[in-house]
Structure 1
Amino acid sequence: MPLIVTDYSWIQTDSTVFISVPLKGARAERVDFLSTEEYLKVHYPPYLFEAFLSGPVDEDRGTVKVGNGVAVITLPKRSNAFWEHLMITTYDKEKKKEVRERALLKHQEKLRSQSGSKAEKQRAEKKYALETMMKLEQEERDRILKRKEDEREQTTAELAAWQLRQREAAEEEDKLKVQDQRDHQSKLKEKTEKQDKGCWGGAKFKLDQRGNSEAKSKRKAVLLPAPRCTGNIQVKFTPRVFPTALRESRVPEEAEWLQKQAEARRSGNADVEELKDLREEERNPEWLKDRGDKRFASGDYLGAVNAYSLAIRLNRKIPALHSNRAACHLKLNNLHKAIEDASQALDLLTPAVVANAAARARASARRGAAFCQLQLYAEGLQDYQAALKIDPHNAALQADTQRIRDILQGSAAETQ
């Protein structure tokens, strides 16, 4: 049986009622408040304060402040007027019971509405996080496809130019062969004529010799290639692996990263006994990675996880395998596994250089998305800020980061 509190006090203005309820040593976190437009309850076991108010109040704008052992309740009135009494003066227990039950029902309905709104907000945030990840993945796929298309067009153009040069060389060679055949026929004809006219005089013979000599000179002139045309030779230099200016480059870090990449390509567990039954291509991590990428693009996320997992068993030092498997776990809602894989990828993507900047941004964004789906918005914000620092002009990352800040600010406001 609760102890009814009677040593309360109250004051009023024409628009507001102020009620002071002593808490009698109770801690603030153990005090339960319930307020509707006609009923007020303050319960801190074993004490209970109830007020069946004389007039309606606006419970949505009411406030409670607890301090120095007193709870001060501020209730704005629905209409500007002075009350003669704080509570109704009736002693009808049934009426009070009806008011109490009506207040409880209204309070429960309000809690259900708030719970539904919160659940809807969480679903909207989860959907937004998934859409963001899908958008990032689609942008990455589009970028790769565009690069492949550009390389294909360049190769086609180079092949067409080479074929044109080959045709021109063949045509020139055919012309020379035709000219040689004509010269040979002319020579045979002259030789035949000489045999038929062997009785000609010495003067005629000398004339023929001079004519043959001139014909030979003409043939030699025809066989000689034409002078080369003048022009400029285009010289192309092999680009640096890291396009950073030397005075701004991080040469030791870049060298360390290249060494790690080389070690990752050399390392592997292909000789493990349980992997002996695999086909030759299935023991190639790069082949398995391409297979996982195709499965992911087709929506078979579980198949992609299996391909990446087998590749990781063969070689654990390739960062892309862990990062891509994290993206699959995000699709499958395996959030803790996604965080673990993204963290492993970030550990392998060290030291931080220009060559692995894009991969670090993707891994950070994926881990941040997993944190946000677990409602760990502070941790997620840190990862999104790290990705945004690498790619500051990415509009999608900017929008996601701002959205997470808004969620955190809204949570802080609700707590206050």
Structure 2
Amino acid sequence: MPLIVKDYSWTQTETLVYINVPLKGVKAGKVDLFSTDEYLKVNFPPFLFEVILYAPIDDNKSVAKIGNGVVIFTLYKKEESIWESLALMNVDKETLQKKRENAVLKAQEKAVTDTEAKAIKKRENEKYALETMMKLEDEERKRIEEMKEQERRRATEELEQWKEKQRKEEEEKKAQQRREIQKLEHEKKKKKDEMKTYSKSVSECPRKRTTAKTGRKSEEISLPAPRSAGSIKIQFTPRVFPTALRESRVAEEEAWLKKQADARRAVNADVSELKDLKEEERNPDWLKEKGKKLFATQNYLAAVNAYNLAIQLNHKLPILYLNRAACHLKLRNLHKAIEDSSKALDLLTPPVADNADARAKAHIRRGTAFCELELYAEGLQDYQAALKIDPRNETVNADAEKISKIIQGTVPDSL
């Protein structure tokens, strides 16, 4: 049989009712509160406080606080008035039981309504989240398609410009050849005409001739003596190519010769640079270890120089490009980091178990550089490629999930 609490206190205004119920030493965790718009109950065994309110209250606005050994109710009246008492007077047990049952039914109905409302709200939230995610994915897909289309148009324009340039150069070469051929033909024709004129003048001037009227011989016509024999020295312009100048393509030959000269200068420069190095500095493995030590001391620029020299000595070692990519990441040379990681992946072929760790590092470093450039879709692809190589790497898995959330717009754009 519970003990009824009677030493409670209450006050009111026209809109509010305040009730203080002492807990009599019972801990707050053992207090059970139950209320409707007409009924109020506080159960903290072995004590019980219940009341059928004098008038209805707004149960949704009303609140209860437990602390310092007391329960404080703040009840909002549905109608502004001053109550004559807190509870209805002269309520028999049957009416009290009926009020209790009605309160339980209302509480159950409210719980069902709240549950349905929460379910509806949850479905609406899930639908909104799905629609938002689909919208973000569509926008990202469109952005990527637009980038691809812009790149395709740019490449097409550059190709068309190159073709037009080649066509103009070809036309210019053909026009130059035609002009040279016409010039040669003109010179040949001119010489031929001169020979014809000379031959005709010789044939029309005999050494002797007679007059028709007198029959006497005219005086002899003197002709120039034959030319003495001699030699003419001809000097040809020195040429690298065996073809004649009129048959060659001068622009292409000059471009080829320039490339050969540049290549020779580069080789000579490299040889002169290597001559100044010590014996151990010509060893790529020694330079690789030196780069690692410089990286460990945070001297990233010096480490890059060491790897540059090592790659100059041997450009087939993928570890050199992989380590230099790490240095470029520290120096914020993001595009160079992407380039070195890609070069390392090209050299790490075929993909086998021995180079799996290096391939995973290359994907992670390239993916990090992409994300730093806010190219999250490309970065996610590299992280996923690294997870295919090492699926148990929890750090890479967590980073991949974070990048995916950034793409979906659920977290700030930062890694």
Q: Normalising by the residue count of structure 1, what TM-score does the alignment of the two structures yield?
A: 0.53
Distance 1:119 1:46, change over 3 A: farther
Looking at structure 1, the residues matched to 162 and 414 of structure 2 have their Cα atoms a distance apart, in angstroms, of: 41
Select which of 98, 103, 108 maps to 2:106.
103
Residue type of the alignment partner of 2:64: V
Deviates more, 1:169-178 or 1:196-205: 196-205
**Map of 1:280-295 to 2, 5 A cutoff?**
none
Q: CA deviation at 1:190?
A: 3.4
How far, CA to CA, are the matches of 1:132 and 1:327 in structure 2? 20
Identity of aligned residues (%): 20
1:323 to 380, 389, 393: 380
1:36–1:107 contact (8 Å) kept in structure 2: no
Which residue matches 1:397? none
Q: Indicate conservation of the 8 Å contact 1:24/1:69, yes or no.
A: yes
Deviation of 1:67 after TM superposition, in Å, equals 1.7
- Aligned partner of 1:301 in structure 2 is none
Distance 1:103 1:171, change over 3 A: same
Q: 2:51 corresponds to which letter in structure 1?
A: A
Could you say what secondary structure the match of 1:78 adopts?
Answer: coil
Distance in 2 between residues matched to 1:41 and 1:339, nearest whole Å: 52
CA deviations on 1:327-368 (whole Å, 9 max, x unpaired) are: 99xxxxxxx9999657546xxxxxxxxxxxxxxxxx965344
Letter in 1 for 2:73: I
2: CA distance, partners of 1:337 / 1:36: 55
Q: What do residues 108-129 of structure 1 show as CA deviations (whole Å, max 9, x unaligned)?
A: 1342144225414531245424
- 2:159 — aligned with what? 155
Residue segments in structure 1 that go unaligned for 5+ positions in a row:
210-222, 224-249, 276-282, 286-310, 329-335, 346-362, 373-379, 388-416
> In structure 2, what is the equivalent of residue 71 of structure 1?
71
2:342 is equivalent to residue 272 of structure 1 = no
Amino acid at match of 1:173: Q
Equivalences, count: 279
Asked whether the equivalents of residues 363 and 382 of structure 2 are also in contact (C-alpha less than 8 Å), the reply is: no
Structure 1 residues 13 and 2: alpha-carbon distance in aligned structure 2, compared to 1, 3 A threshold: same
CA contact (8 A) 2:66 2:72 kept: yes
Larger Rg: 2
User: What is the CA deviation profile of residues 144-177 of structure 1, one whole-angstrom value per residue up to 9, with x for unaligned ones?
Assistant: 4323422332332232133123213312322332
Contact 2:56–2:78 (Cα < 8 Å) also in 1: yes
Q: Which residue of 1 aligns with 2:331?
A: 253
| 1:8 alignment partner in structure 2 | 8
- Superposed CA deviations along residues 269-304 of structure 1, whole A, max 9, x for unmatched, are 7352699xxxxxxx9x9xxxxxxxxxxxxxxxxxxx
Aligned to 2:42, the other structure's residue is in SS state: strand
TM superposition shift of 1:82: 2.0
Instruction: Give 1:169's match in structure 2, choosing from 167, 173, 181.
Output: 173
Q: Are 1:112 and 2:190 matched, yes or no?
A: no
Q: TM-score, normalised by structure 2?
A: 0.53
Greater relative CO (CA pairs within 8 A, separation 6+): 1
Partner of 2:284: none
1:178 lines up with 2:206 in the alignment: no
Alpha-carbon distance between aligned partners in 2 of 1:271 and 1:192, rounded to the nearest angstrom: 81
